[in-house]
A and B are shown apart, each in its own frame.
Chain A
Amino acid sequence: MTQASPLTSTQTGVLVLLRLLIGWHFLYEGVIKLYSPGWTAKGYLLSATYLESFFHWLASESMISTIDTLNIAALLFVGAALILGFKTQLASLIGVGLLLLYYFAHPPFPGYPLGPAEGSYWIINKNLIEAAALLVVFLFPTSVSFGLERFFAKRTLSSQTH
Chain B
Amino acid sequence: MATDKKLFAAFSRRDLLKSLAGVPILGAVWAAGIDTTKKSKLEKDFWLEKLNIKASAPPASGPMSGDPLRIGLIGFGIRGEQLMRALGFATQEWMESMAKSAQEDPKDKRLEDFLAQENLNVKLTAICDIFDVRAEKALRSFNTEANPCKRYENYLDLIHSGEVDAVIIATPDHWHAPMAQAAIEAGVHAYVEKPMTHTIEETYRLREAVRNHPGSILAVGHQHRQTLSFLTAQDAIAKNTLGHVSLVVTNTNRNDDNGAWQYEIHPEASPETIDWNAFLGTAPQVPFNAEHFFRWRKWWAYGSGLSGDLLTHDYDRVNCVLKMGIPKYVTASGGIYTHRDGRNVPDVMQVNMDFPDFSTGSSQEDGKEKGMTLVYSATLGNQFDRGTVLMGHDASMELGNILTIYADPRSTKYKDLIKEGRIDPQVPIYQYDPTAEGVDAVTSATAKYFANKGLLWTYRDGKRVDSTFLHIREWLSCIRNGGNPSCGIDEGFEEAITAHMAGLSYKIGRKIEWDPVAERIISLPGEDLDAILLENSVV
Contacts and interface: CB of A to CB of B under 8 A. Distances in A.
A96 to B, nearest CB: 20
B15 A84 contact: no
B322 to A, nearest CB: 30
Interface in B446-474: 446-447, 449-450, 453, 455-456, 462
A36 interface: yes
Which residue of B26, B436, B437, B446 has the most chain A CB atoms within 10 A of its CB atom?
Answer: B26
Given A53-B106, A115-B449, A158-B6, A28 B29 contact: yes
Contacts of A80: 26
B286 interface: no
B456 A42 contact: yes
B32 interface: yes
Q: How large is the interface on B (under 10, 10 to 19, 20 to 34, 35 or more residues)?
A: 35 or more
B50 interface: no
Contact of B440 (A38, A145, A147): A38
A158 B29 contact: no
B13 interface: no
B456 A116 contact: no
Q: How large is the interface on A (under 10, 10 to 19, 20 to 34, 35 or more residues)?
A: 35 or more
Contacts of B453: 47
B445 interface: yes
Contact of B37 (A35, A53, A85, A145): A35
A34 B22 CA distance: 21
Interface in A134-148: 145-148
Contacts of A132: none
Contact of B436 (A20, A38, A79, A162): A38
Contacts of A115: 449
A39 B30 CA distance: 17
A104 interface: no
Contacts of A31: 29-30, 32-34, 37
A147 B34 contact: no
Interface string B1-38: 00100110111000100111111011001101110111
B19 A151 contact: yes
Contacts of A85: 19, 22
B516 interface: no
A46 B456 contact: yes
B18 A79 contact: no
Interface string A1-44: 00000000000000000001001100110111011111010111
Contact of A155 (B7, B21, B25): B7
B18 A32 contact: no
A47 B450 contact: yes
Contacts of B440: 38
A20 B19 contact: no
B30 A27 contact: yes
Contacts of A28: 29, 32-33
Interface string A62-83: 0000000000000000011001
B419 interface: no
B368 interface: no
B438 interface: yes
Interface in A106-161: 115-116, 145-148, 150-151, 154-155, 157-159, 161
A31 B107 CA distance: 34
A38 B438 contact: yes
A149 to B, nearest CB: 8
B18 A35 contact: no
A147 B440 CA distance: 40
B456 to A, nearest CB: 6
Interface string A42-58: 11101100001100100
26 contacts: A24-B29, A27-B29, A31-B29, A31-B32, A31-B34, A34-B33, A35-B37, A38-B437, A40-B437, A43-B446, A43-B447, A43-B450, A43-B456, A44-B450, A52-B107, A53-B107, A83-B29, A84-B22, A84-B23, A147-B22, A148-B20, A154-B10, A155-B7, A158-B6, A158-B7, A159-B3
Given A43-B446, A116-B449, 4 more contacts: A31-B32, A43-B456, A146-B21, A147-B18
